[in-house]
Structure 1
Amino acid sequence: MIELVIDQRRRDLGGFEVGRVLPFHSHRMVGPFIFFDHMGPAQFTAGFPRTVDVRPHPHIGLSTVSYLFEGAMTHRDSVGSTEVIRPGEVNWMTAGKGITHSERFEDLRTHGGTMNGIQAWVALPTEDEETDPAFSHHGPDDLPTYEGGGMWARLIAGKAFGAEAKVKVHSPMFYVHWALDAGATAQLPAEYPERAAYVAQGIVEIDGRQINEGQMAVFAPSQPVPIKATTNAIVMLLGGEPIGERFIEWNFVSSSKDRLAQAKADWRAGRMKLPDADDQEFIPLPPDPPGPAPAMS
């Protein structure tokens, strides 16, 4: 039932730690999900420096999905969007042929508090990799919920459990937030060929195996998966139909290595527009490592 368990790898992003789960060296993607970071949890005191913010940077070939358990984050992008995301909401940004954006912690800088959430990337299918960039924000009314048997659930994106979120997706997928009471059991159906569960808080038991906070269990296809909460737990379910091989370099995703090279050249040369509301600084392209460039990182 469990094919693989992936431990998050903690990384400091300049005063703010994340737990990176995907991509993993032996398992790059789960359905279209190609990147999965647990932001925090981190406690901030009011007045912390702006260096913690994520300055403007570019993307191609993917959609970014931001979802918070605690805290707030201000998104600004090159298609003119400015949006504060708060717990229970979704920011869905489709990069397509190219977008730039920043993520600022302005509310936390003013008031202090906890940042805790998930940043995921969903790779676009080949026919949509060069689509026009776009941004959408979705409140709780766009995201179906269910409660019963010691479980509360919210469908963040895609289709699952007979429901569909009002978030535009480009390929068959699902993304779900479960909150489970200790002792409760819920079942992930065998609806999609690629599925995983990430434990954001607490401990669960799957197929007789303990899965701890910060671990992602990747499942074999074709069987429903019962998940029992050993403690109160938050579990993120994700997956969908595979979309084929993708390459990653820095913030760029593509089915073509040549397209990655072009995106890097465009950013280096200043050919990608910065957000109108946040165009005074940006993150420069990191230097290429010595020797042949890696296909994925």
Structure 2
Amino acid sequence: MQTKINNVIEHRTVRCFRNFRESEIIESVASEIRVALIYNGVSHTVMMASPADLECFAIGFTLSERIVDKVTEIKSIDVEPNDKGVLIYIEITNRCFMALKDQRRNMAGRTGCGLCGVAQLEHAVKPTIRVKNNKIFNINLLPNVLEQLPRVQTMFNITGATHAAMSLSERGDIISSYEDIGRHIALDKLIGSYSKNKSITPTAILLTSRASFEMVQKSASANIEIIFAISAATSLAIELAEKSNITLVGFCRNNRATIYTHPHRITSEKLNTLDIMEPGRKQAY
């Protein structure tokens, strides 16, 4: 018997105001569940995640963690909810499964730190992948992207408890957006979505969180060339982005941005009349 798990749960709370006035209300909170990833019948890890788009998460995680090299090496995915969470059964090719068995990782309960629970330190840092050099993004389109955030962050608007990862077109439009309580899981869902649909790699991605080492490492695995982050980048993220040929941009808010690495992909050309006249578009840099 399958159990339906909602993304948002209503919870009775007491809200306190200034001067200690209290009011009992029903608050919407983000659902957090245990998600077990099982490869070829062998349990690999348990993650804490939001229950939406779990097939995309399974694909993205399997690719970004380099358990497989390409999506065709994933033979099947079965998502089975139960009263304790969700079991995801992933069948991969024998070659990939044998390689996984040689590098078993124990990452139970990872929600924020991408390196927590790694059995050996050397397994935390995978071989560097250098991405291609095909994408260009006009920084003057970024304000339009940021204006679209309230429209695509539906779970955040209700609960205030989720991060989002979104793909951007070269015109500054949000192509797709995925939310989760874990920022790295939101990115996995995004990677899994366009890998599953075999669509073209986006011009850039936008993260509503900081840019950490793992976010850059996952992006490199997916050949993402440009990363925009609302918050700062960490030192290891900058170091890896430099080595991976990724353009990493942080503090993307309040009409500013900090380009940490490979600035050649970022242009600042004046927008043409059509772009400026479109609703929500404006030049701010």
> Which structure has the higher relative contact order (CA within 8 Å, separation 6+)?
1
Higher strand share goes to which structure?
A: 1
Please give the TM-score of this superposition, normalised by the length of structure 1. Answer: 0.25
Please give the TM-score of this superposition, normalised by the length of structure 2. Answer: 0.25
Greater Rg by CA: 2
